[in-house]
Structure 1
Amino acid sequence: MDDLVTARLILHPMSPGEAEQVMGGEPDSSARWAPGYPTGGDMAAARRFLSVCASTGDPQPFGNYEIRSRDDGQAIGGLGFHGPADDDGGVTIGYGLIPSAQGKGYASEALRALLEFARARGITCVHGDTDHDNAASQHVMSAVGMDLVAEDEQLKHYKITWTDGNRNL
């Protein structure tokens, strides 16, 4: 599968081998990781991706993506789907950036591209959640058109649904 390219980013679909490197925190000689990558969240996402691969096969294009800077090709974070679409055409997403890449609009840019990609492949609904105190992530999901649909003691839950094919991201 090809990389997804935005104005400033490359969203690289991870292979199981690349996910194993991320989970182990050790790149091979071809990997270019910015200082601070991978984060604990990246490692957890790689573990989830490998679990999906083991139980149902590689879910690409609905797997994990490494977020890379177009300027230097270094990995600065990750985003992706928690697995393939459910029976109703819905998916759950997650994302994160290393601290030095936060606050620059990269998360919104990456998530917007991932939502456009999902919608073009027939996904009808995307879910995401964030901690109550993570205002930055709440802002990202709102900025890309996701609506706050529920809250519980730990999380705020966001969702975007496409029913008429006319919603712009």
Structure 2
Amino acid sequence: MRPINGDDVTEAVAGCAATLRAAVDRDWRAVRAGRVEWDCHTTAVHVADDLIAYAANLAGRAQDAYVPFELTLDEGTDNAGLLHVIETTGALLAAAVRTAPPGTRGFHPYPFRSADAEGFAAMGIAEVLLHTHDMAEGLGIAYEPPAELVTSLLACLFPHVQPGPAPWPTLLWATGRGELPGRAPVTEWRWNNNLVIPAERVTLTGLRPAAAKDLRLGGDGGFEWIASGPYEGTRDAAGMLLKAYEAGVHRPEFGVFALVRQEDGRAIGGIGFHGVPDEDGRVEIGYDLVEGARGQGYATEALCALADWALARDDVGSLFATVERGNTASQAVVTRAGFTRVSDEGAEFAYELRR
């Protein structure tokens, strides 16, 4: 798996057009698109509408709602013309993704009210792949997208879904379009964009599995780091995230975040959870900073922001952190963030912050 980009949008749309062009002379209004309630013509228009809407929300930096317009076809547009519209709107989304400055986000309702360029690219690809499948199924045409593309899409938008033995059947199962041995049928589903939590001077940017994999293997995770970054603790945390994803127990909102400095867009550290809350609503938290960013209050600011976000949830009642006895700087961080020392036995102090 790897991060999703504009080229992937282009590849997905090209596969859609090539597949459906084989049935361009059919009456798409008379054929139901697989298991969905729409006919093939309506489904194709929906794909084009989503592609242009995603491009608009990203390029227009929409904040609270979709950019207020709709796609309307000229009267008499035939199937060939409709495919041209899909190709054109796909090209617009690909261009918006390629040209979006780092950190750009636009409105999308689920689940955290925004998405970045990779998220919009992935959502567009998901619409194309899944609805091309629906239309191809209705029209009796064989269709299967590239496995590498589907693998990356699953990791980007479905990080809560355990990878299956093959990516395409896994995506179809995860979206209620097929069966997977050993797994219950899916009747309701949603994808997940990464969570971003703003603070005063830094932004906590949720890591996707592909970014976590890159960090664990020694890469930069798609971020521009200040000198000597990222710190080893961030790489270890990324490895924990990757293992959770592969085991099917990863919950993106309780994952790992890169700390991105707002003044220059550079990453300065990491923060996150050691897992999901236990049955008592208790969850452990950890953090680190690159040396060049220490002593400036960034860790305290990030910890306060993450704590506020977590303790506002119904499933979190308390946060827990451990700090080495000799790490007085980190002890000061958790204290300033409101944590109370609850244990001083062994090589580490334990701290807790309750709702």
TM-score of the superposed pair, with normalisation by structure 1: 0.91
2:209 alignment partner in structure 1: 16
Q: Is 1:153–2:346 an aligned residue pair? A: yes
The amino acid that maps onto 1:124 is G
Structure 2 CA distance, aligned partners of 1:160 and 1:27? 32
1:166 alignment partner in structure 2: none
The amino acid that maps onto 2:279 is D
Gaps of 5+ in 2: 1-193
Gaps of 5+ in 1: 163-169
Structure 1 CA distance, aligned partners of 2:218 and 2:325? 28
Runs of 4 or more, structure 1, over 6 Å off, are none
Q: CA RMSD in A?
A: 1.3
2:317 alignment partner in structure 1: 124
Report the alpha carbon displacement of residue 55 of structure 1 after superposing the two structures with TM. Answer: 2.2
The answer to which of 19-28 and 121-130 deviates more is: 19-28
The amino acid that maps onto 1:111 is L
Percent of aligned pairs with the same residue? 32
The amino acid that maps onto 1:62 is F
- Number of positions where the alignment pairs a residue of Structure 1 with one of Structure 2: 161
Q: Deviations over 1:102-133 (max 9, x none)?
A: 00000000000000000112210100001000
Secondary structure of 1:61's counterpart equals helix
Relative contact order higher in (CA < 8 Å, ≥ 6 apart): 1
Structure 2 CA distance, aligned partners of 1:48 and 1:2? 18
TM-score of the superposed pair, with normalisation by structure 2: 0.44
The amino acid that maps onto 1:104 is Q
Pick aligned residue for 1:63 from 249, 252, 255: 255
Structure with bigger strand share is 1
Report the alpha carbon displacement of residue 2 of structure 1 after superposing the two structures with TM. Answer: 3.7
The amino acid that maps onto 2:246 is A
Q: Is 1:52–2:224 an aligned residue pair? A: no
State the structure with more CA Rg.
2
1:32 alignment partner in structure 2: 224
Report the alpha carbon displacement of residue 49 of structure 1 after superposing the two structures with TM. Answer: 1.4
Q: Is 1:42–2:234 an aligned residue pair? A: yes
Secondary structure of 1:65's counterpart equals strand
Structure with bigger helix share is 2
